[in-house]
Structures are given as C-alpha cells and as structure tokens.
Amino acid sequence: MCSAVVPLSPPPATNALAAGRGVPARPLIGTLDSNRTQVVMETLLQRIVETGSAIAIIDITGVPTVDTMVAQHLMKTVAAARLMGTECMISGIRPQIAQTMVHLGVALGDVTTKATLAGAFATALHKMRLAITDVKA
C-alpha cells in the first residue's frame, strides 16, 4: 500500500505553474529539537526561500522545555516568515508546553497550533487544497 498526494479539487489555473515543474507543492517541515534555536530558525527561513513553501510547520515535539527564550525565538521566526509571505504552524505542543506558554504570556495570536505533526500536516495540505490518499499499488 502506498500513498500519493492528490488535489482535492481541480487546481486553480495559477497552480499549473507548480504542477508544470513536476513537483507538487508541499508544506515545509522544520524540526526544532535543540537549544540552538536561533541557528535552526535562520536555516528554516532559508529553506522556505529555497523551496518556495507558502506554508511551513515547525514541529517542537523534540523540545524538552520551552522557556522564555525558546518561546520568543519561535514567535520571532513565525513573525519573520509571515513578513516574507509564509504562514507558519506549530505542531507537537505537549500539555506541559501549552501551560508554560500560557504562564509566560506567550501570545500565539493567530498562529495555528496542533498537538501532532500529522495533524498540522493534514491542515496544511487542506489549506493547499491537497490531501493524502491511499493508492492501490
């Protein structure tokens, strides 16, 4: 059994650009799992430019603790990506992290957050009018 990414509905004419290149657009996923948040953030933004991803998912499942500095870097990255024209989602927010963020008064604003990477990926695909479906091999 394998899966493929297929459009939910006929893509608008302008998306023919991406399809024409033979590679369907997909959300970019960046994994944050170290304390070198600043470097990872800069790399993520660079990857966004290189891949032309209008949606990026920052997965923090592997982050042990979210202190003020990590939270601030996260928010700055989301803000920078938005300035560049990319929407970010944050996935992998465990209950403890959610509590910490609320205590720290971290304002997530209108950033979409999901508990799991799979959930964020599905949401991103939906926004891009794509879906994962099973294809008989």
Partner 1 sequence: MDRIPILKMGDLLLVTIQVDMHDRLAMTLQDDLTDRIVTARARGVLIDISGLEMVDSFIGRMLANIASMSRVLDAETVVVGMRPAVAITLVELGLTLNGVRTALNVDKGMELLNSLGGHQG
Show Cβ contacts of residue 8 under 8 Å, excluding neighbours closer than 6 positions: 126, 129, 130, 131
Compute the least distance from the CB of residue 31 to partner 1, in Å. 18
Does 86 bind partner 1 (CB under 8 A)? Our answer is yes
Residue 8 beta carbon to partner 1: minimum distance, rounded to whole angstroms: 17
Is 49 an interacting residue with respect to partner 1 (CB under 8 A)?
A: yes
Chain centre distance of CA 13: 25
65 in contact with partner 1 (CB under 8 A):
no
Closer residue to partner 1, CB minimum distance, 11 or 119: 11
Nearer to partner 1, 80 or 122 (CB): 80
Residue from 19, 79, 107, 135 in contact with partner 1 (CB under 8 A): 79
> How big is the CA angle at 39 (ends 29 and 119), to the nearest 5 degrees?
20
Instruction: Classify residue 92 as exposed, middle or buried by CB count within 10 Å of its CB (0-12, 13-18, 19+).
Output: buried
Query: What minimum distance in Å lies between the beta carbon of 30 and partner 1?
Result: 13
Q: What is the DSSP string of 1-19?
A: -EEEEEESSPPPGGGHHHH
Least spacing, CB of residue 102 vs partner 1, in Å = 22
> CA nearest 124: which of 17, 44, 30?
30
Cβ-based nearer residue to partner 1, 72 or 99: 72
Instruction: Please report, as ranges, the residues that interact with partner 1 according to CB under 8 A.
Output: 12, 14-15, 17, 41-42, 45-46, 48-49, 52-54, 76, 79-86
